[in-house]
Amino acid sequence: MTDADPIKTPLTLDDGVDFAIIEHLFFAYRDFTADPDAILDEYGFGRAHHRVLHFVNRLPGLTVAELLEVLRITKQSLARVLKQLIDDGYIVQVPGPRDRRQRELYPTQKGRDLALALALPQSRRIRAALEEAEPGDSAAVERFLRAMVNPELRAQMDKLPNGRSK
């Protein structure tokens, strides 16, 4: 057999990987993002816009540097998305009170309304999924998802208001 020969058998648990959980995450993510994607498309926005809107609404006053750290993207990637959200009136940028070079980000009412419109179908999907689960599974799901985040980055989740995961 050469590297170019087709392999006609699927990968399985015998290969040392739990493919079922991986596939559940793939499908869950696909469907979790589908409703917001449809809404974003109406505005000419994408998932990057959604992430920026989400965190600016969850942490008003977040600096650009802090947002870059949370999203783990480059300044160049953020610049285009942030400019569009600012130009279209979803986010405002103000100089920091201590350091005028720092830029703090705040949602406008328009940005708050869009963030809620994007989060509501996701919240409904989560609520419906948890209703199908056993009582008490919600905490287990939160612990599981938290454990999926790199340990050194979990502190970022703790900064979110009303966070239940600790």
pLDDT tens string 7-64: 888 888 888 888 888 898 999 999 999 999 999 999 999 999 999 999 999 999 999 9
Specify if 55 maps to a domain: yes
Per-residue pLDDT reduced to its tens digit, 95-125: 878 877 789 999 999 999 999 999 999 999 9
Specify if 2 maps to a domain: no
Specify if 137 maps to a domain: yes
Could you tell me how far CA 51 lies from the centroid of its own chain? 5
Specify if 120 maps to a domain: yes
Q: Which domain holds residue 27?
A: 17-158
User: Tokens 């979790």 label which residue?
Assistant: 32
Specify if 1 maps to a domain: no
Enter the pTM of the model: 0.84
Domain count, the chain: 1
Specify if 130 maps to a domain: yes
Q: What is the CATH number of the domain that holds 127?
A: 1.10.10.10
Specify if 41 maps to a domain: yes
CA-closest candidate to residue 90, choices 110, 106, 104: 110
